[in-house]
Amino acid sequence: MKIATWNVNSLKVRLPQVLDWLKQQSPDVLVLQELKLEHHQFPEEAFRNEGFQAAWNGQKTYNGVAIISKHPIEDVQADMPAFADEQKRVIAASINGIRIVDVYCVNGEAIDSDKYIYKQHWFTALQHYMQQVLAQHENTVLLGDFNIAPTDIDVYDPEKWRGKILCSAAERQWFQNLLDLGLTDSLRLINPDAPNFTWWDYRMNMFRRKLGLRIDHILTSPALTVRLKEAAVDTAPRGWERPSDHAPVYAVFG
């Protein structure tokens, strides 16, 4: 089973690219972040015409998440039930016996901002939420845009980014708290030494210069980790015309 994640930075703009990628890569499940679409604007028919089902949690501006699947989507839950949040950043569902949790985690803007405090509260809520999910679902995958580069290998210039947003010690601890629940960073498990960047700033030709960060992740429960066969970043879409600033990340399970 092939499961992928992609922050598309506006589904309205990137819909043709998403449909092309689905045809090329044929994942069983693709989760999306940063739809930037109100709930009623989601292009469900476009995915249905390609043989995919969809569940989504829409919101205009910067948020919105969706699950696209070849298989039946069951037991859909939008948002974290114990965390009151107007921002649409979470959607979960069960597909082929796997609990899929799609997240668009808070960016935080800067470590001295109110948004950083919101990010801290949000990750604390996510930790508690995932503890409950893992207790209920043996096969679980938590994936999406985490807006955290977990270690120095995940950053093109660790010294330049040290202590800054996405790379602060506190944020890295929030990510580690998720791993401490028993989750495994699938891409790092398969590729322990390669940077495998997933995001490149639009400015200063960063993608062509290979100057990026790894902030999109696929975390797996122990029962799913033992089934992991492959994990990789598909950088090709980042080089397409009018691309998202993120590339798809995928994992394959036996």
Active site residues: 104, 145
Do 213 and 166 contact (CB within 8 A), yes or no?
A: yes
Q: Let me know the angle formed at the C-alpha of 79 by 214 and 61, rounded to the nearest 5 degrees.
A: 65
Amino acid at 235: T
How many CA atoms does the CB half-sphere of 171 hold within 13 Å? 28
d(CA 237, CA 242) in angstroms, rounded, equals: 10
d(CA 67, CA 75) in angstroms, rounded, equals: 12
Strand partners, 199: 213, 246
> Mutual orientation of helices 114-136 and 169-179 as an angle, nearest 10°?
10
d(CA 39, CA 109) in angstroms, rounded, equals: 25
d(CA 178, CA 192) in angstroms, rounded, equals: 19
